[in-house]
Structure 1
Amino acid sequence: MPKSLVRDAKRRLPLAQLLSVLTLSVSASFLGGGASAQDQGEMVKSHGYSFYGDLSYPADFKHFNYVNPDAPKGGEISISTLGTFDSMNPYSRKGRGGVLSTMMYESLLGEGVGNESAPADVYAEYYCLLCETVEYPVGKDWVIFRMRPEAKFSNGDPVTAHDIAFSHNLLLDQGLKSYADAVRKRIPKVEVIDDHTVKFYFTEGISRRSLIDQVGFVPAWSKKWYEETGARLDESRLEISPGSGAYMVEDVDVNRRIVYKRNPDYWGRDLPFNVGRNNFDRIRVEYFGDENSAFEAFKSGEYTFRNESNSKQWATAYEFPKVKDGYVVTEKIADGSPPTPTGIVFNLGREILQDKQVREAVALAFNFEWTNESLQYGLFKQRVSFTQDTPLMATGLPEGAELAFLQELGDVVAPEMLSEEVRLPHTSGAARLLDRRNARAASKLLDAAGWAVGDDGKRRNAAGEPLRLTFLLNSSGSATLAAVVENFMSNLESLGIEAVLEKVDASQYTSRERDRDYDMVYDAYAPFLGTGTGLSQRYGSEAASYSLFNPAGLASPMVDAIIEASLLAETREEEEAAMMALDRALRHEFIMIPVWYNDVYWTAYYDQYGHPENQPAYALGYLDFWWYDAEKAEKLRAAGVLR
């Protein structure tokens, strides 16, 4: 599985597959400094890639607009995570990969530290890192990457086209099946032209979306290392192959900490792509068994940066002396990315939950308003859309270009999608946990679905089988989330449902989630701001029975048709109409109970870091383009706040 599948789905939506069709008229200015199609005999040659060709940064850019080009290098930033790990190979289904264990590996096109976007101020634009140029015909039948000859792995070996071809094939042979199946159909051949030139061929007669960016984000692994060691990509292991990235592993203490250090001999440190980035000498990750111990460790200075996600802690716990004395900074930073569609996901592989009436009844037991006010201090908004707060969010009845798009798909589109307003979450009263109006509505739905209430208050079907639903929960997760789920389960019990909460440790949770061993789980899908073949892996039928990125197992002919049609969009306007239709369809299919979202980052950190004044829209970037302030750090040590 490539790094682009591991990254947080904030902008490239783990596969960098959000691009569209490039027209024949490509001008030098349209390419942001690249040569025109006419000059190249209907060829495109550029320093980066966007499906539409509209690169914001010219070929001679000096650095990204949001970074501090004079940011000092040095110091350490330390963060925390919960749970355990037993592998430094995150590309396998086996084992539990360590945090940030992809960060050593670069790709032809560049990205940010920790799988964030780079550049983080533009959307769906990708710039050369291991490559110098990208070349392809206007029809995108193939692509050639000409690589930087100075690129090398951390052990000093050069990064060559042979390594790129090897990595691509390794993913197909030993990577995730859902990924390999999809890629083989679209990318039939890779060819090494010379040591620093690699060519990928694309299947005829298919959409050209998500092809160049797909191969451009394959991580570069050392062919020599894999062949000499006999290591496999599909195995759990602590030994790692050398990477070409700015960071390398310094120390691994299983289930306690991982330390990454900046490679002093990093080949690409002076590239414009990297100016003002990769500023810390060390990035340290501390592991904790539960959230309370992690927070207490932060207060004591055991680690120095928190991206807080617990509303209770943000509202009540950041009044300890170091905050009051100004040693610890608490800061809200705007998040311009669409929020990740988290929620209570239904396993559609369970026969009980294949009945939409049952899912709707179960959803009515979730009281967002009470939850937000009573457990989350009123700090969240309710998410309604898979493209929340973006121009692609479906509203009201379909009209204009979206309506025309849906009508062209024919009978595969549910008739009510055209005649009814888009699905919105139910509302509840905040005064009490169980909203009686919603409870009555849920009871009617369950009765209609054949789950009648017996004399004992329990619901059974005609065969006398109880309506039993299990919820899988990670015991090392947030105490607030546990309370949310427990209250939701209490409401299900009030409806006569046998609701079973199964709290398991992190390793069991990972295993059972991969095997889809649950009725319901708190999980997430990827938001999207554009189309691409990666949408099929997340929302499509083809890999629905086993894809790790489709926790509901959604297999909808309507969704499939929308995704396939979206790949043929020839303008941004057509693409936007298709994405709005996809949002409408996913909400119609009702695969999860949408919960909450936050449009700001809650950050807390010891006052020894700096960050750009103008935060880019698509990344927080604390590991990527923040920096260490040695003078401030010395003041903290002098005050005895940090060692």
Structure 2
Amino acid sequence: MRRQTLLPRRDFLALGAAATAAALLPGRAFAQTPTGVKLHGLSAFGDLKYKPDFAHFDYVNVDAPQGGTFNFQPFNWVANQTPLTFSTLNSFVPKGDAPQRTEMCFDALMVRALDEPDAVYGLIADGVTISDDRNGFTFSLRPQARFHDGTPLTAEDAAFTFKLLKDKGHPDYSLSLTHLEDAVAVDAHTLELKFSGKQASRTILNVVQMPILSKAFYTANPFDSSQMNPPLGSSAYKIGRWSAGAWIEYERVADYWGNDLPVNRGQNNFQRIRIESYQNRNAAFEAFKKGEILYREESVSRVWATGYDFPAVTAGKVVKHEFPAEKVPSMQATAVNQRREQFRDSRVRQAIALCFDFEWTRRNFFYGSYERSQSCFEKSDFRAEGVPSPQELTLLEPLRDQIPPETFGEAVT
């Protein structure tokens, strides 16, 4: 493969190929993004699909009906969350088991656009200014931002949050804050984040999506896994009824301060979102068959191929659908740790790869499911194909004596 990478799994899956690619280009990521001017969004490559005056994301229906209860099984989770049970409502700490989707109760400085591979747009912050050295970020916070109890969400809450998550937060948060030197509330609506310069270029894309917590709440309550009292949030949903370890409901906040923001219009339409915990995969599938669960993503090829023949499918009550492509595709892979002496020789890594007979495994174990990825940037513009173009050769030739000769031939498949 022409583009050699060391990819943290969470970053790759969270931000997609484009942001990861940017992180591998020191001095180039954000190179086209201007400094010293207020920006309504950020992209690793400087280009944003949506202009400052955009009304809503293109993929939403602003006239969608609102109401009802949606009971579903989340396919993924973050930090200390688990689909099996829960013993705390604090999902930001390393210990304990939290229910899935508690992050829905908290707003962030900025939010992802799902039809772009790496772009984020202002939520709590209506804009950001990048310093000339690109290690400082100044955010202008919306004065109307509120917590669910009506108290203002200020830059002091944001500065408190980033320091707290760096010192005591789950690694999903603290690792991205490793090189954060300071978080400063300049005034009630101005936040400065200062990095050391050792951070990856994409780090800020992770940081701006972190939940902003209430300083008052976590001053009065311990920031640990012992908490079963719902934390004070600020987003479109708040924790409603719950039964420890069994199920939890998130209630839509009628007077949510951000309802009419462009990044929110057409979204958050269910009045109630209910999530059940199942300690057994089969029990969860049976609940779906009976209609207790309304939506499910299948991750087991055997079940996908042989399990969806129950009466609700044949009656048309369950719609089985396969999506051929995603903006941010997920992958399953084994990463060889090249920091280990025994794996530093590329021939050893190639030999390991040759031991995996993907085609035989796909045919015999996976019921014909899955396609082999030929690149860490599969289904993106960054996948290497054919021989290097003249433009690529212009970049590669000065490095000819430092990179594998295969780089200059056909892309490896």
Which range, TM-score by smaller chain?
Answer: 0.7 to 0.9
Aligned to 2:192: 199
Aligned to 1:21: 30
Aligned to 1:520: none
214-223 vs 154-163, greater mean Cα deviation: 214-223
Among residues 41, 49, 52, which one is paired with 1:56 in the alignment? 49
Q: Are residues 86 and 17 of structure 1, via their aligned partners in 2, closer, same or farther at CA, if it must alter by over 3 Å?
A: farther
Q: Normalising by structure 2, report the TM-score.
A: 0.80
Aligned to 2:150: 156
Q: Which amino acid aligns with 2:141?
A: M
Aligned to 2:311: 321
Do structure 1's residue 230 and structure 2's residue 233 form an aligned pair? no
Tell me, in whole angstroms, the C-alpha distance in 2 between the residues paired with 1:88 and 1:201.
30
Deviation at 1:296, TM superposition (A): 1.3
- Report matched runs for 1:499-514 at 5 Å: none
**TM-align CA RMSD:** 3.6
Tell me, in whole angstroms, the C-alpha distance in 2 between the residues paired with 1:253 and 1:345.
39
Do structure 1's residue 66 and structure 2's residue 96 form an aligned pair? no
Q: Which runs of 5+ in 2 are unaligned?
A: 1-7, 23-28, 75-82
Asked whether the 8 Å contact 1:338–1:387 carries over to 2, the reply is no
Q: Are residues 177 and 320 of structure 1, via their aligned partners in 2, closer, same or farther at CA, if it must alter by over 3 Å?
A: closer
- Report matched runs for 1:390-469 at 5 Å: 390-395=380-385, 400-403=390-393, 405-406=395-396, 408=398, 413=403, 415-418=404-407, 423-424=412-413
Asked whether the 8 Å contact 1:11–1:123 carries over to 2, the reply is no
Asked whether the 8 Å contact 1:22–1:138 carries over to 2, the reply is no
Deviation at 1:14, TM superposition (A): 11
Q: Which amino acid aligns with 1:121?
A: D
Do structure 1's residue 98 and structure 2's residue 99 form an aligned pair? yes
Q: Which amino acid aligns with 2:243?
A: D
Deviation at 1:217, TM superposition (A): 2.6
- Report matched runs for 1:219-258 at 5 Å: 219-232=211-224, 235=225, 237-258=227-248
Asked whether the 8 Å contact 2:68–2:271 carries over to 1, the reply is yes
Do structure 1's residue 107 and structure 2's residue 108 form an aligned pair? yes
1:61-89: CA deviation from partner (whole Å, max 9, x where unpaired): 22111211100111122123653443433
Q: How many residues align?
A: 392
Q: Secondary structure at the match of 1:265?
A: coil
Aligned to 1:300: 290
1:478-497: CA deviation from partner (whole Å, max 9, x where unpaired): xxxxxxxxxxxxxxxxxxxx
Among residues 111, 118, 126, which one is paired with 1:124 in the alignment? 118
Q: Which amino acid aligns with 2:315?
A: D
Q: Which runs of 5+ in 1 are unaligned?
A: 27-41, 111-117, 425-643
Q: Which amino acid aligns with 2:379?
A: D
Q: Secondary structure at the match of 2:144?
A: coil
1:16-74: CA deviation from partner (whole Å, max 9, x where unpaired): 776523448x6xxxxxxxxxxxxxxx732232233554332222222111211100111
Q: Secondary structure at the match of 1:305?
A: coil
Do structure 1's residue 280 and structure 2's residue 270 form an aligned pair? yes
Asked whether the 8 Å contact 1:188–1:202 carries over to 2, the reply is yes
Q: Are residues 339 and 270 of structure 1, via their aligned partners in 2, closer, same or farther at CA, if it must alter by over 3 Å?
A: closer
1:464-503: CA deviation from partner (whole Å, max 9, x where unpaired): xxxxxxxxxxxxxxxxxxxxxxxxxxxxxxxxxxxxxxxx
Asked whether the 8 Å contact 2:94–2:171 carries over to 1, the reply is no
Deviation at 1:104, TM superposition (A): 1.6
Tell me, in whole angstroms, the C-alpha distance in 1 between the residues paired with 2:100 and 2:11.
12
Q: Normalising by structure 1, report the TM-score.
A: 0.54
Tell me, in whole angstroms, the C-alpha distance in 2 between the residues paired with 1:285 and 1:322.
21
Tell me, in whole angstroms, the C-alpha distance in 2 between the residues paired with 1:14 and 1:380.
19
Tell me, in whole angstroms, the C-alpha distance in 2 between the residues paired with 1:109 and 1:153.
16
Asked whether the 8 Å contact 1:80–1:288 carries over to 2, the reply is no
Tell me, in whole angstroms, the C-alpha distance in 2 between the residues paired with 1:212 and 1:374.
43
Q: Which amino acid aligns with 2:109?
A: L
Q: Which amino acid aligns with 2:164?
A: L
Instruction: Decide which structure has the larger Cα Rg and report it.
Output: 1
Asked whether the 8 Å contact 1:83–1:287 carries over to 2, the reply is yes
Tell me, in whole angstroms, the C-alpha distance in 2 between the residues paired with 1:52 and 1:276.
27
Asked whether the 8 Å contact 2:36–2:130 carries over to 1, the reply is yes
1:423-453: CA deviation from partner (whole Å, max 9, x where unpaired): 54xxxxxxxxxxxxxxxxxxxxxxxxxxxxx
Asked whether the 8 Å contact 1:202–1:211 carries over to 2, the reply is no
Tell me, in whole angstroms, the C-alpha distance in 2 between the residues paired with 1:209 and 1:74.
41
Aligned to 1:429: none
Tell me, in whole angstroms, the C-alpha distance in 2 between the residues paired with 1:14 and 1:246.
29
Q: Secondary structure at the match of 1:198?
A: strand
Aligned to 2:15: 12
Deviation at 1:330, TM superposition (A): 1.9
Q: Which amino acid aligns with 2:278?
A: F
Q: Secondary structure at the match of 1:273?
A: coil
Q: Secondary structure at the match of 1:171?
A: helix
* Greater share of strand: 1
Q: Which amino acid aligns with 1:105?
A: F
